Amino acid sequence: MDSAAFDPETDEGCSLAHITIKRTYDKLQEEGYEDEAESLREPGGQRQKALKLRKEHLQGWDPLNGD
């Protein structure tokens, strides 16, 4: 997953990493963090970026449970 850029409009992967990145992207957009969400589209390290952004902006939110 980390080798290619993430594109929320066309990516339909089903790996756990993809699901968490996609849900993090969507939640960041929903919460008004558009720039941060768009940073997940840059190639390389999306999984680590998503984790960092969740810790910074979505504390307590679980991308797998939606809580």
Cα–Cα distance for residue pair 16/47, rounded to 1 Å: 10
Of residues 19, 31, 12, the one with CA closest to residue 64:
19
Residue 43 confidence (pLDDT): 84
Residue 65 confidence (pLDDT): 87
Contacts of 49 (CB under 8 A, 6+ apart): 39, 40, 42
**Claim: this prediction has a pTM higher than 0.85:** no
Q: Is 14 helix (H, G, I), strand (E, B) or coil?
A: coil
Residue-wise pLDDT for 15-54, tens only, equals 888 889 989 999 999 999 999 999 998 888 889 999 999 9
